[in-house]
Chains A and B, each alone.
Chain A
Amino acid sequence: EAQVTQNPRYLITVTGKKLTVTCSQNMNHEYMSWYRQDPGLGLRQIYYSMNVEVTDKGDVPEGYKVSRKEKRNFPLILESPSPNQTSLYFCASSSQGLSNQPQHFGDGTRLSIL
C-alpha cells in the first residue's frame, strides 16, 4: 500500500530536549515536505526536499532542521524544542511536478512542548 508513515503520532516532551520526527514514504517520490498546522493559520511549510541531499527552507523554518540522506526518509529535527513549536506536524511526498501532482500526506504527529 502506498503510504507516508510518520512516527511518533503523539509526543509530549519538555523544553530543550532534542527530538526527531521520522517520515518515510514507499512510493519512490523525489519530493518530500514538512508542514505544521496551527488553529487559524492553516498549514505552513517548514522545509522541503527536491531529492536526496537537496533541501530548502519553507515559510517557517526557524527552530527546525532536516536531512535527506535516503530517498524514502525525511526526518524533522527539533534541536531545542520550545513551547511555540507545539503543533500538529505533517510530512508529505509527491513525484516531481508539484503543480500537477497531489501530495500524499502522513497521518500527522501531535507535538506538545511543555
Chain B
Amino acid sequence: AQKITQTQPGMFVQEKEAVTLDCTYDTSDQSYGLFWYKQPSSGEMIFLIYQGSYDEQNATEGRYSLNFQKARKSANLVISASQLGDSAMYFCGYAGAGSYQLTFGKGTKLSVIP
C-alpha cells in the first residue's frame, strides 16, 4: 500500500483565521488521485476535495483549497476563514490509477478556538 503521512496529530486555529493541514505521499505512480475527508465528532466521513495528479490547477471547493505540489509529493489542505464547525478530524487519502485501494493517513485533529 502507498504511504500517506499526516505529520500533525493536532492543530489549533483561531476562528476566522486560515489553517493548513499537511499531507505527503510516497508513490511511483504517474497517475493518481488525492482526497481529503472530514470526520466531525458525530463520526461520519464527509468528502471535501479532490485533486488529480494531472490537474494543472489546485482544486478549490468553497473555503477549502488543496495546495498540490507534485514534485514535493504534498497535497496540503487549506481552510480559509475557519469556523467553529470546522473542528473535526481530517484525513488525507490516496488512490493510484487502476487501483482498488484508497489509502488514508492517520489524520489531523483540528480544533477551532473562538
- A interface residue numbers (CB < 8 A to B): 31, 33, 35, 40-45, 48, 50, 56, 58-59, 88, 90, 92, 98-100, 102-105, 107-108, 110
Contact = CB atoms under 8 A, between A and B. Distances in A.
Contacts, number: 64
A50 B100 contact: yes
Interface stretch (B12-20, B40-48, B62-70): B40-48
Given A45-B102, A58-B101, A105-B45, A98 B95 contact: yes
Contact of A56 (B32, B52, B100): B100
Contacts of B52: 99-100
B98 to A, nearest CB: 7
Given A31-B100, A45-B102, A59-B1, A102 B35 contact: yes
Given A42-B104, A43-B104, A99 B43 contact: no
Interface of B: 1, 31-33, 35, 37, 43-45, 47, 50, 52, 91, 95-107
A92 B46 CA distance: 11
B75 to A, nearest CB: 13
Contacts of B107: 42
Instruction: Say what secondary structure dominates the interface of chain A.
Output: strand
